[in-house]
Structure formats: C-alpha cells, structure tokens
Structure 1
Amino acid sequence: MKGDIFSPSEKGIVRYMFEQRENIQGKTAKQIAKETYTHPSTLIRVAKKLGYNGWVELRNIFLEEIDYLNSHFNHIDANYPFSEQDNVMTIANKMAVLNQMTISDTLSLINNDELQKATDLLNQAEEIKIFSLNNNLDICHDFKSQMVRIGKKVNLCTVDQGYEAASCNSNTCAIVISYTGETSGIIGLLPMLRKKGTPIIALTSIGDNTLTTYADCIFRITTREKLYSKIGSFSSNDSISFLLDLLYGCVFSRNYRNNLEYKIRISKYYDHRKSSNEVMQEGNHDNV
C-alpha cells in the first residue's frame, strides 16, 4: 500500500485507511468516498491495484492485518527494541518481551496440516538438507545436532549449494530458509530441487514470494523486521530457532520411546561431563 503505484486521489484513500485503521469497519465505498472527497470507483481502483476484487474484500483483509498488528508487538519495535537511554536491565526486560512476543507470534501462524505434513516428510527422509544464507545456517547447527542424536542425517549446505541441490532425490527433504523468499542464490536452487522430486519445507516471511510457490510446506517467520534498518535480527532469528525446535520435537514424538532410549543410551556412552550442581546431575536411566 505504500508503493508508488497510485494516483494522487488513490493515495488519499490509502492515507485515509492508515489514519482510520479500525474505524473503517463497516464503512461502504460510498461513505469513504464522501469523507475523502473522491468517487467510489477510486476505492475500487485501489483494491484492483492491490490484487483484490473490490473494496469489501480489500477492507476485510486490511482489517485482519490491523488486528494482527494490534495483537503482536504492541509495545516493542522488533527493529529497535531498546533505545540509547535504556539501562542494561531495561534492555534485558525488553529483549525478553520481544522474545516472548516472537514465539507467540510464530505459533499463531502455524497451520496444523502443514505441521503434520512436514513431520511426515522429515520422518520419512533418508537425508535432510538445509539451504540458506550462512547467517541463517548458523542457527541450524543445534537442529542438526538434535536430529543426529535420534539417528537422522542432516546436512547444512554451506558450500556448493548448487551441487548439493543436484544430488538430491525424492528421498531427500530440503528445508529452505529465506526471510524475504527472494534471495537470488537460494531461489536459483528451487527449480533443481523440483526437478529432482525433492520435497521442500519453506521457512519464510508472511505473504507470497518465489519460495512459497515451490514449497510443499510453508512455515512463516514472524515478519516485523526491515531488511537492514534495525539493531539486529533478534525477532527473525528467534522465530527460525523456534520453528526448527518445533520440527525436531514433532519428528521426535513420532517414535518417542525409541528416540528417547536411543538418545540417552548413546549420550551415556559418549558424554562424560560431570557437574557439582544437583539439578544437572544424571540419575539412573536404565529403566527408560
């Protein structure tokens, strides 16, 4: 809506919508045209330019988005979660709130059928390959470590991603992570993955993008950050981590008892760490 695609009168309609927000609920095109000194056909043109059939459809979608925005990140700006005047404990509290809001936001965007399907694809895959930029791949190391501990083969494709995509097949499952869904180096891999019959699980932002058109399952990264005008990628990183933890947990649950027994048995053999903290000390798991 902030794009440079509107005439001056159409911009007046868009400006009115941003100013009035929830107040446009129930208003007809004729009413708004009167208040903005335009013609009802102007509202229809705005709707058409945004890809909707008419004013009512645009109004309803707009109100849904306003409700979403009002329900998430009311008090914390994901781009600037703290200011230069904040002391260290204020920063700590604001970061905690942002983290909690991010998890809640991400959870609200998850679809049950998509999660069930993704769990099936990961559970059945002989190998899981993750494609993304290096900064996102860094987040994936814990996911790989967790999955390896229950016998799943995971490859973080850090170099020669094109060759990694070309070596995939229908028994491979690809997790593709892109905040914009338009990262050229990642998008270029998608035709090859499709050609190889490799199912794709996408982690990407809200809305349609190139990645979503190729994906078999789509999980939405909380979308509140600009590309670079921000202090850090706190929210998107937390969202990706939560989604990966969730996917691991769902795969684990498919064979809960065996996975737990296997993980503990192998850990007891290789993990010889000691702790003086009673909370961290291991008990007897022989009966698990």
Structure 2
Amino acid sequence: MSVLIKLRDYRNLSAAENQVREYILKYPKKVLEYTVYELAKESFTSPATVVRLCKKIDIKGFARLKVLLAEETKYFQDMKLNLLDTTTIEKNDSPHAIIEKITNIAVKTIEETRVLVNEKQFMQVARLLQKAVIIDFYGVGASNPVAIDAQFKFMRIGKNVITYQLYDRQYVQAVNSDASHVGIIISYSGETKEMLKIAGILQKNGTPVVAVTSSGENSLNRIADYNLFVTAKETVFRSGAMASRTAQLYIIDILYALYCSLDYDESIKKIQQTRIES
C-alpha cells in the first residue's frame, strides 16, 4: 500500500490534519529531513496533529512515516507521477489537447494503481476464485460495465459466473448466495448504498467478499474479506468516473490473468475453444 496515495485519497480528516497531509504531499522530500516538531511548525499545526494523522492512516508514528516516504519518493520521481496533478477538460480545449489529456489520465491512473497492487492478496483471491463454485460480480453505475466485462472474461475459461445490470436482480443474486460463491463488489467510492447492502447480505450468508475499491478508508473495504485497491487521477469534466473505470478494468485484467496462470494450459485451451470465428 502506498502511503502517499493513501494520504491523498483519505477522507474524514480534520482541518489541521488536512494541512499536514497537504504539506507532506507537496513537499515529501523536505519532510524526510524534518522532526515531528519541524513538520508541525511548517504546516502550522502541532506535533499531536502529525501523530494523529499517522495513526489515522495506520502508520505507527512519524519515524515510520518517513521510512515509507523515503522508499516511495524515488519511485514516484522516476515514474514522473505527480499525486497532486489534476487534469480537466476545458471548454476551449482543442481535439489534440483533449486526446492528450485523456491519454495522460489513463496512463497515470494505471501507473498509480500499480503501486497499490499487493501480489500476495491478488494470488489469494485468484486461488479463492479457483475453488469457488460460482463467482458473482456486483456493481452499479459506472462500475456495472466493469462487472459485465469481468463476467465475460471468466465465462470464457469455464467458470460459472453471474452478474446483472439491474440492482433488484443483483439483490436477489446476493440473497441466494452461500459459502460456495465468491462475491466481487466493484465500487470506487466504497460508499454506494446498494453495494453496502449487498456486502452485508453476502457477509450474513457466509459468502467471501472481495472489494475492488479505492485505497482511502471507506465502508466497503472495512466489510470485505479481501481488498483490491484502485486509485484514479482527477479529473475529467471534474469527475473521476473515467479514470476509476480504467483502474477497475486494469485490476480485473490482472486478476483474470493470474487466475489463468494457475492452470495455464487448460485456460488457454478454453479461451481458444470460445473464440468466435468471424
């Protein structure tokens, strides 16, 4: 998990904690040379606020925060990733400018999400799916096309996979699930009320819950048994929907490829068998 991305995406901070967060994101290299008292002074807050922020993002103290920052800063510099960069489509943008902006958002979103990929967690989920009798994908709004894309991928390799476009169908799908199913819930915000309802039903039924959600603290990733985190560059038309969908599709592609790698020869055979000849 990236401490810098987690800092940027974390919600529910106090005004003082947000000042510390913004200073760290803007000047991560300077922070490496500071004591907790110096950071508090530079961010016009207090040492207690700095420590409280560290605890909120599950970092055990300012010293540990600096260790993690040192590890990440060079990577982000090498990848030319600016976590505070925002890209918006403006009224007078030329077609060329729009194309460049959309390309930049897509590429940087994937590069940032790659930082969040936990290989051990992904392999645990891939093996969980391998054992499952049925895989259920859930998602509403912009996340629903991602669920449908995932369904088709896993259908091609012979898995029994279910997803629906309408929420009432998804609700019934969840009610009828049990421990032989795995439920994969796709929700960038992690706060969509329909998906939280689904998560609660799955949990009650003993169905393992996998969340594809943002790295910031949210209700869904607290419920889920497994979390596959995404992040999204902001903003297209001042909305992150395009970027979050790109990140979600990237995560599904990784999960699918890792699943196929567990039985490579059989997966390739089934993919070839399900190829529709033109």
Query: Same fold, TM exceeding 0.5?
Result: yes
Unaligned runs of 5+ in 2: 1-6
Larger RCO, structure (CA 8 Å, separation 6 or more): 2
Residue number in structure 1 paired with 2:47: 43
Match of residue 143, structure 1, among 150, 167, 176: 150
Tell me if the contact between 1:202 and 1:212 (Cα under 8 Å) persists in the aligned partners: yes
Change (3 A) 1:84 1:74: farther
Structure 1 partner of 2:178 = 169
Q: For structure 1, which segment, 96-105 or 239-248, has the greater mean C-alpha deviation from structure 2 after superposition? A: 96-105
| Aligned with 2:205 (options 196, 202, 224) | 196
1:251 aligns with 2:255: no
Pairing partner for 1:96 from 100, 103, 113: 103
Given the superposition, is the C-alpha separation of residues 20 and 184 from structure 1 closer, same or farther in structure 2, using an over 3 Å criterion? same
- Unpaired stretches in structure 1, ≥5 consecutive residues: 274-288
Higher helix share: 2
CA contact (8 A) 2:25 2:83 kept: no
Amino acid at match of 1:111: N
Shift of 1:170: 1.0
Describe the SS at the equivalent of 2:136: strand
- The answer for the alignment partner of 2:217 in structure 1 is 208
Which residue in the other structure is 2:3 paired with? none
Name the count of aligned residue pairs: 263
What does residue 129 of structure 1 align with?
A: 136
SS of 1:26's partner is: coil
Task: Quote the residue 1:217 is aligned against.
Answer: 226
Give the Cα separation in 2 of the matches to 1:15 and 1:100: 24
- Matched residue SS, 1:189: helix
Structure with larger Rg: 1
Match of 1:180 among 171, 180, 189: 189
Q: Which amino acid aligns with 1:184?
A: K
1:236 aligns with 2:244: yes
**Letter of the aligned partner of 2:104 in structure 1?**
V
How far is the alpha carbon of 1:64 from its aligned partner?
7.2
TM-score (norm 1): 0.75
2:109/2:232 contact within 8 Å kept: no
Aligned CA distance change for structure 1 residues 266 and 217 (closer, same or farther; 3 Å): same
Q: Sequence identity of aligned pairs in percent? A: 25
Over the aligned positions, Cα root-mean-square deviation in angstroms equals 3.4
1:145-196 CA-to-partner distances (Å, cap 9, x unmatched) read 2221211121113332332211111110111111111211111222221121
SS in structure 2 of the partner of residue 140 of structure 1: helix
Distance 2:27 2:156 in 1: 53
SS of the counterpart of 1:188? helix
Q: Could you tell me how far apart the structure 1 residues matched to 2:53 and 2:82 are?
A: 29
Question: Deviations for 1:17-57, whole angstroms, at most 9, x for unmatched residues?
Answer: 5665432322223445666787xxx2214432663565545
Superposition TM-score, scaled by structure 2 size: 0.77
Residue 273 of structure 2 corresponds to 265
Match of 1:118 among 116, 122, 125: 125
After superposition, the C-alpha distances for 1:99-145 in whole angstroms (9 at most, x for unaligned) are 22222222221111111111111111111111121321112322222
1:213 CA displacement:
1.9
Matched residues in 2 for 1:262 and 1:6: separation?
54
